[in-house]
Amino acid sequence: MDLKKRAKVGMVGCGFYAQNHLHAWADLRAAGSDLVAVCDIDSGRAEAAAQQFGVKAYVSVDAMLDAEPLDFVDIATRVASHQDIAAKAAERGIGAIVQKPLAPTLADCVAIVETARRHGSWLAVHENFRFGTAMQRIKAVLDRGDIGAINWARLSFRTAFNVYESQPYLAKEPRLCILDSGIHVLDLARFFMGEVERISCETQKRNPAIAGEDTSTMMLRHKSGAVSLVEATYEAKRLPDVFPETLLEIEGSAGSVILLPGQRAIITSRDKSYEEELRSPILPWTDVRWHVSQEAVLHANAHFLDRFLEGRAADTSGEDNLRTFALVEAAYQAAETHCSVRPEFS
Ligand code: NAD
Ligand code: 89V
């Protein structure tokens, strides 16, 4: 089978976070991505993106999918519309990358994955924390065995950054912290430590002005026997506020990796310790505050493009992401029942 060398990409959703996707596709032109059209039900946003990136604008997904010979769509609308838009692509045999959370519930996520499978269409979830430069470099250290068998970790996404300013809808989400940011840290826990046997969880709502939980503290027992603490909160009033960085403490039988504010790592391997700066350079379109998140988009999109062109599943395929989302649901169940819970998929 002749492998494709280029992919025609359609962007669905031109809102706040999609700007990073759009810049990433433009940067990946040399790697084979051809952004050809954008779609947003808000015509102003669609036109603005189309003008900035020199592509066609649509206000209807159906119209774009019927008019443009796309290889895949990149869906960066909010969670309520993911299933409907992903189905429209799958039914036409067009691949899809869907932003996190894939869907509001695990059952909806399974339905999206099943629809793609039924139509034989390629499906990836844009879960990008693991693709960030620091996370990829740390994964390489762990995979080399430099710290031995991993047996304990603490993964922390702790901030008081005003996420509600750029994402005002978050203040009204009934399920907030685990579904929005805890999902990223749970995916990192799987990425570094493997699949999960059981999870326990405590949630808090420390900010009375919002609808959902703003703080989650989770404990995971991995199938390897390792234990990890996974934390996410928007109410950590501390300095430095490292948003949107995830801090790490990963311990193994022969050493450890500590990821400190500013993406500085202290690596201890068999009684030798050294420091590494893992922060990547600011890009022309990234900014100091969001850079760690934005550069993860570029690397994630590069991965999705490569895998699509190779005809292979993404690391964060629909099927893979079911195991992360199953942890989200298990965490909410654990918080409600005050018991540890086995995730439905692992
Ligand atoms: P947003 O509301 O700013 O943008 C969503 C856009 O989608 C809006 O412009 C809206 O008009 C458009 N839209 C809605 N329904 C549509 C439809 N049927 N067809 C076409 N366009 C439609 O939202 P946002 O803050 O950019 O978040 C988008 C997604 O990105 C969410 O799932 C969010 O969780 C995710 N997100 C991920 C990260 C990350 O990867 N680290 C960071 C922030 C947000
Ligand atoms: O990265 C995200 O998914 C955003 C957050 C507020 C956590 O940065 O929603």
Ligand 1 probe mutation, 11, 59, 73, 77, most atoms within 8 A of CB: 77
Among 103, 126, 149, which residue terminates a domain?
A: 126
297 falls within a domain: no
| Cα 194 from chain centre | 17
Residue 297 CA: nearest ligand 1 atom is 40
HSE-CB for 201 with a 13 A CA cutoff: 28
Q: Which two tokens stand for residue 280?
A: 């990547």
Q: Is 40 in the pocket of ligand 1 (CB under 6 A)?
A: yes
Whole-angstrom CA distances from 30 to 27, 33, 61, 133, 302 are 7, 7, 26, 20, 11
The burial of 66, by beta-carbon neighbours within 10 Å (0-12 exposed, 13-18 middle, 19 or more buried), is given as exposed
Q: Read off the amino acid at residue 326.
A: A
64 falls within a domain: yes
290 falls within a domain: no
The pLDDT, as a whole number, for residue 106 is 98
- In this structure, are residues 202 and 335 in contact, taking their beta carbons and an 8 Å threshold? yes
Q: Are residues 149 and 217 in the same domain?
A: yes
Among 126, 146, 174, which residue terminates a domain?
A: 126
Q: Are residues 99 and 35 in the same domain?
A: yes
**Mean per-residue pLDDT over the chain, rounded:** 97
Q: Which residues line ligand 2 (CB under 6 A)?
A: 163, 167, 180-181, 244, 293
The pLDDT, as a whole number, for residue 185 is 99
Q: Are residues 179 and 253 in the same domain?
A: yes
Name 211's Cβ contacts closer than 8 Å, sequence gap at least 6: 171, 172, 173, 174, 176
Q: Are residues 164 and 267 in the same domain?
A: yes
The pLDDT, as a whole number, for residue 328 is 98
Q: Are residues 269 and 191 in the same domain?
A: yes
Q: Domain residues for 94?
A: 7-126
Burial readout 100-112 (b: 16 or more C-beta within 10 A, e: otherwise): bbbbbbbebbbeb
Q: Is 18 in the pocket of ligand 1 (CB under 6 A)?
A: yes
86 falls within a domain: yes
Name 186's Cβ contacts closer than 8 Å, sequence gap at least 6: 178, 218, 220, 230, 324, 327, 328, 331
The pLDDT, as a whole number, for residue 1 is 56
Q: Which residue has the tokens 């976070």?
A: 17
Q: What are phi and psi of 34, to 5 degrees?
A: -120, 95
Q: What are phi and psi of 269, to 5 degrees?
A: -135, 115
Among 80, 99, 126, which residue terminates a domain?
A: 126
Q: Are residues 184 and 332 in the same domain?
A: yes
Sign of CA dihedral 276, 223, 157, 219: negative
Q: Are residues 105 and 212 in the same domain?
A: no
Residue 161 CA: nearest ligand 2 atom is 6
The pLDDT, as a whole number, for residue 159 is 98
* Residue 3: band (very low, low, confident or very high) from pLDDT cuts 50, 70, 90: confident
The pLDDT, as a whole number, for residue 2 is 67
pLDDT digits (tens, 9 = 90+) for 297-338: 999 999 999 999 999 999 999 999 999 999 999 999 999 999
Q: What is the CATH number of the domain that holds 98?
A: 3.40.50.720
pLDDT digits (tens, 9 = 90+) for 8-36: 999 999 999 999 999 999 999 999 999 99
Residue 183 CA: nearest ligand 2 atom is 3
The pLDDT, as a whole number, for residue 236 is 98
